[in-house]
């Protein structure tokens, strides 16, 4: 070592020593923490600067709080300090100065060089801890690591998915147990399902259950303006995570980066996305089995993902989370209603049954809206009517009870809705009518609500055709009674066309077209498929013809049904005009009255003499 170098070093040491001494003077006696606690803080990137004096560490965290600790192993500590860009100062220990100082010299030298190197590289220097700015060279902001306090108990109604994940939680808790048996811990878990089904919640619950650190990042956070930033952010994330293993990396809405690579297009943002995706693929392949880092990703659009992501060894575990069924909805309701004050005797299971198709997020919203409604009415507890109000609000937009509607419109609406309800009641294989109303809400003038008895997973052809007939019931009733058509049936017609199209193109239930799939790209969840069967213009025409034929046939049958039962139609429509809303029970009373009248009438027709004699 030359004299100049030693001189420089002494200068550096003196300078550092002076600064360090000042810091040390200012915080006379910083509270001592354990070396483990210090390491944990350091790992989190919480440490701003430290001062070394022998094994004694004094320093300051990013919040400006000072602390002290004792390190048994300074040499081992150095690389860690460097990787976290902690500002370091050191001071010789008076008595045994020589030996210790000698061992510190190379370290400080490297350190000084590093600091200078870093300074010249970065625009802003170290210490700007928060925010998510971008820019090359600047050390990226703190990665969003944290611990999750959500557990599986907070996630309800998706037992199947939970079952698939317990093993993964176990492997995070006891990685050694798994590797000892030579087991292969899955690296990637893809949670897929419609929005609001609890994917984000579930990812947090996995981390909470396993009590491991949790990095959470949105897919779109990677996509920046400058090419290469996203990719380097991915690499950084994985490097960081490996140091903290076992841990979980969660990438929400991964479709933002994991979408299919185009290959051809030259647009800049695509380029960036593809680079990011490539970096992700490389990192996923680079996991070794002794690093228990599990990547959890969520998406609403698994169909959009690049197939490369789904290859074995990457997201080899795919967990589909479906919308909850009635039982699941009940469980989710139970979880969320614990957070509010409920009136006694509320039948949650009836509520759960009345909200088919609600996602977990919508149920959470329902409970919240119900609580708001109770508060608005100055109640002590949330009652059933609050739930009804909340439900109606969510389902149909705000009630417009006081909107002015002409008497004529009201009549047309009453017959229209009665038409739907009667067809649903008279035909077999249909869901029972739950509620009919002519109170306008949102854009709808009225509504007929049907409730399935159970959650159905498959539907018969008869059920589907009857659905179309029920939809036609509104228009047919208007035509029969008023002899003219209105626009009120536009939604019904749209739905009927959609159902008929799927009946033919997707479910293969049309004898002319046959059991061949002619999928349309619907683009929804699990909707489109990359292997769509192309079909000719001729087939398209045949399909169109069959759709029209199906709907027309349904229309004709519905017309006959309502003509035959036109007394029922009048009775129900008049009842609606008076009551505005008719529930299932009232509906069944009207129905039974009508049926017993009809029986007497029919027997009069078929055996006129008998009755005369009686
Ligand atoms: P996703 O990520 O699938 O769109 P989220 O996890 O963001 O859905 O869900 C939003 C909110 O809805 C959650 O924070 C939670 O309050 C509620 N939620 C959704 N699914 C469930 C569930 N299965 N159990 C309990 N709450 C749920
Ligand atoms: Mg989400
Ligand atoms: Zn209608």
* Tokens found for residue 302: 């698994």
CATH 1.20.58.760, the chain: domain bounds: 407-600
Element containing residue 91 per DSSP (H, E): strand 87-91
Q: Which of 10-14, 16-20, 409-413, 548-552 has the lowest mean pLDDT?
A: 16-20
Catalytic machinery residues: 417
Backbone angles phi, psi at 559, to 5 degrees: -60, -45
Which pLDDT belongs to residue 230?
77
User: Per-residue pLDDT for 436 more than 80?
Assistant: yes
Measured in angstroms, how far is the CA atom of residue 445 from the centroid of ligand 3? Answer: 9
Q: How far is CA 252 from CA 132, 217, 258, in A?
A: 17, 6, 11
With a 6 Å cutoff on the Cβ, whether 231 touches ligand 1 is no
Which pLDDT belongs to residue 8?
64
Which pLDDT belongs to residue 95?
46
425: confidence class by pLDDT, cuts 50, 70, 90: very high
Name which residue sits closest to atom 14 of ligand 1, judged by CA: 201
Q: Tell me: the pLDDT tens digits for 27-54?
A: 455 777 877 787 788 787 888 888 777 6
Q: How far is CA 52 from CA 97, 203, 286, in A?
A: 13, 40, 36
Mean pLDDT for 430-438 is: 89
The tokens 């947090």 sit on which residue? 204
With a 6 Å cutoff on the Cβ, whether 551 touches ligand 1 is no
The tokens 């460097």 sit on which residue? 82
118: confidence class by pLDDT, cuts 50, 70, 90: very low
| Residues, CB within 5 angstroms of ligand 3 (ion) | 474, 492
Name which residue sits closest to atom 1 of ligand 1, judged by CA: 196
User: Do residues 218 and 253 touch, judged by C-beta distance below 8 A?
Assistant: yes
User: Per-residue pLDDT for 296 more than 80?
Assistant: yes
* Tokens found for residue 125: 């220097």
Helices (H), 318-442: 326-337, 348-353, 360-376, 384-396, 407-426
Which pLDDT belongs to residue 472?
96
Mutate to test the pocket of ligand 1, among 204, 253, 364, 369 (most ligand atoms within 8 A of CB): 364
Rounded distance, CA 309 to CA 279, Å?
A: 12
Mean pLDDT for 251-270 is: 68
Task: Tell me the percentage of the chain whose pLDDT exceeds 90.
Answer: 23
CATH 3.30.720.210, the chain: domain bounds: 3-98
Q: Tell me: the pLDDT tens digits for 328-386?
A: 889 999 999 998 999 888 899 888 877 766 889 989 999 999 999 999 999 999 999 99
Per the model's pLDDT, the better-predicted residue between 485 and 36 turns out to be 485
Residue 432: helix, strand or coil by DSSP? coil
Arch. (CATH architecture) of 135-320? 3-Layer(aba) Sandwich (3.40)
Which pLDDT belongs to residue 75?
61
Q: Which atom of ligand 1 is nearest to the CA of 195?
A: 4
CATH of domain 3-98: 3.30.720.210
With a 6 Å cutoff on the Cβ, whether 155 touches ligand 1 is yes
Domain range 326-396, its CATH number among 1.10.3720.10, 1.10.8.60, 3.30.365.10, 1.20.120.140:
1.10.8.60
User: Per-residue pLDDT for 556 more than 80?
Assistant: yes
CATH 1.10.8.60, the chain: domain bounds: 326-396
315: confidence class by pLDDT, cuts 50, 70, 90: confident
Contacts of 321 (CB under 8 A, 6+ apart): 158, 161, 191, 192, 193, 197, 198, 199, 202
Ligand nearest to the CA of 367: 1
245: confidence class by pLDDT, cuts 50, 70, 90: confident
With a 6 Å cutoff on the Cβ, whether 199 touches ligand 1 is yes
Which pLDDT belongs to residue 455?
67
With a 6 Å cutoff on the Cβ, whether 299 touches ligand 1 is no
Ligand nearest to the CA of 337: 1
Measured in angstroms, how far is the CA atom of residue 206 from the centroid of ligand 2? Answer: 14
Arch. (CATH architecture) of 407-600? Up-down Bundle (1.20)
Measured in angstroms, how far is the CA atom of residue 511 from the centroid of ligand 3? Answer: 29
Task: Tell me the percentage of the chain whose pLDDT exceeds 70.
Answer: 73
* Tokens found for residue 463: 């059920």
With a 6 Å cutoff on the Cβ, whether 360 touches ligand 1 is yes
Backbone angles phi, psi at 605, to 5 degrees: -65, -45
């Amino acid at each position: 070592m030359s004299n100049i170098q030693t001189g420089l070093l002494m200068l550096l040491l003196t300078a550092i020593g002076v600064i360090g001494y000042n810091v040390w003077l200012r915080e006379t006696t910083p509270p001592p923490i354990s070396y483990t606690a210090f390491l944990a803080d350091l790992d989190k990137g919480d440490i701003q600067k430290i001062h070394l004096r022998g094994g004694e560490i004094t320093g300051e965290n990013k919040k400006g709080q000072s602390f002290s600790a004792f390190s048994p192993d300074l040499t081992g500590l150095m690389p860690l300090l460097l990787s976290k860009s902690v500002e370091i100062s050191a001071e010789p220990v008076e008595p045994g100065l020589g030996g210790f100082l000698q061992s510190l010299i190379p370290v400080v030298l490297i350190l000084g060089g590093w600091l200078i190197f870093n300074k010249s590289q970065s625009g802003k220097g170290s210490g700007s801890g928060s925010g998510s700015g971008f820019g090359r060279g600047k050390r990226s902001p703190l990665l969003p690591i944290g611990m999750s306090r959500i557990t599986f108990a907070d996630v309800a109604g998706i037992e199947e998915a939970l079952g698939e994940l317990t093993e993964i939680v176990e492997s995070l808790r006891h990685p050694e147990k798994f590797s000892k048996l030579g087991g292969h811990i899955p690296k990637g878990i893809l949670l897929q399902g419609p929005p609001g089904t609890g994917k984000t919640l579930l990812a947090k619950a996995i981390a909470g259950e396993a009590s491991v650190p949790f990095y959470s990042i949105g897919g779109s956070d990677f996509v920046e303006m400058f090419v290469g930033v996203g990719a380097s952010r991915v690499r950084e994330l994985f490097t960081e995570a490996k140091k903290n293993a076992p841990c979980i990396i969660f990438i929400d809405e991964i479709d933002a980066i994991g979408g299919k690579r185009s290959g051809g297009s030259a647009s800049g943002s695509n380029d960036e996305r593809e680079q990011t995706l490539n970096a992700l693929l490389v990192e996923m392949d680079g996991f070794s089995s002794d690093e228990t880092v599990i990547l959890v990703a969520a998406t609403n659009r698994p169909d959009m993902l690049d197939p490369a992501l789904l290859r074995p060894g990457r997201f080899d575990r795919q967990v589909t989370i479906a919308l909850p069924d009635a039982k699941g909805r009940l469980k989710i309701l139970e979880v969320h209603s614990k957070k509010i004050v409920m009136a006694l005797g509320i039948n949650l299971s009836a509520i759960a049954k009345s909200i088919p198709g609600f996602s977990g997020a919508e149920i959470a919203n329902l409970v919240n809206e119900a609580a708001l409604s109770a508060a608005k009415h100055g109640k002590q507890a949330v009652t059933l009517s609050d739930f009804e109000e909340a439900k109606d609000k969510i389902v149909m937009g705000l009630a417009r009870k006081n909107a002015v509607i002409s008497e004529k419109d009201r009549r047309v609406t009453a017959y229209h809705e009665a038409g739907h309800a009667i067809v649903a009641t008279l035909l077999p294989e249909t869901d029972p009518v739950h509620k009919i109303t002519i109170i306008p809400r949102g854009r709808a003038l009225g509504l007929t609500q049907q409730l399935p008895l159970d959650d159905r997973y498959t539907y018969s052809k008869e059920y589907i055709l009857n659905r179309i007939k029920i939809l036609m019931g509104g228009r047919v009733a208007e035509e029969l009674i008023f002899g003219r058509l209105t626009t009120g049936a536009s939604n019904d017609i749209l739905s009927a066309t959609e159902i008929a199209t799927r009946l033919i193109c997707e479910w293969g239930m049309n004898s002319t077209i046959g059991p061949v799939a002619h999928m349309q790209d619907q683009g929804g969840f699990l909707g489109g498929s990359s292997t769509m069967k192309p079909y000719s213009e001729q087939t398209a025409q045949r399909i169109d013809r069959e759709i029209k034929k199906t709907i027309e046939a349904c229309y004709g049958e519905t017309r006959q049904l309502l003509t035959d039962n036109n007394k029922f139609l009048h009775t129900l429509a008049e009842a609606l005009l008076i009551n505005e809303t008719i529930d299932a029970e009232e509906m069944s009373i009207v129905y039974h009255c009508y049926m017993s009248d009809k029986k007497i009438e029919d027997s009069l027709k078929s055996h006129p003499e008998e009755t005369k004699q009686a």
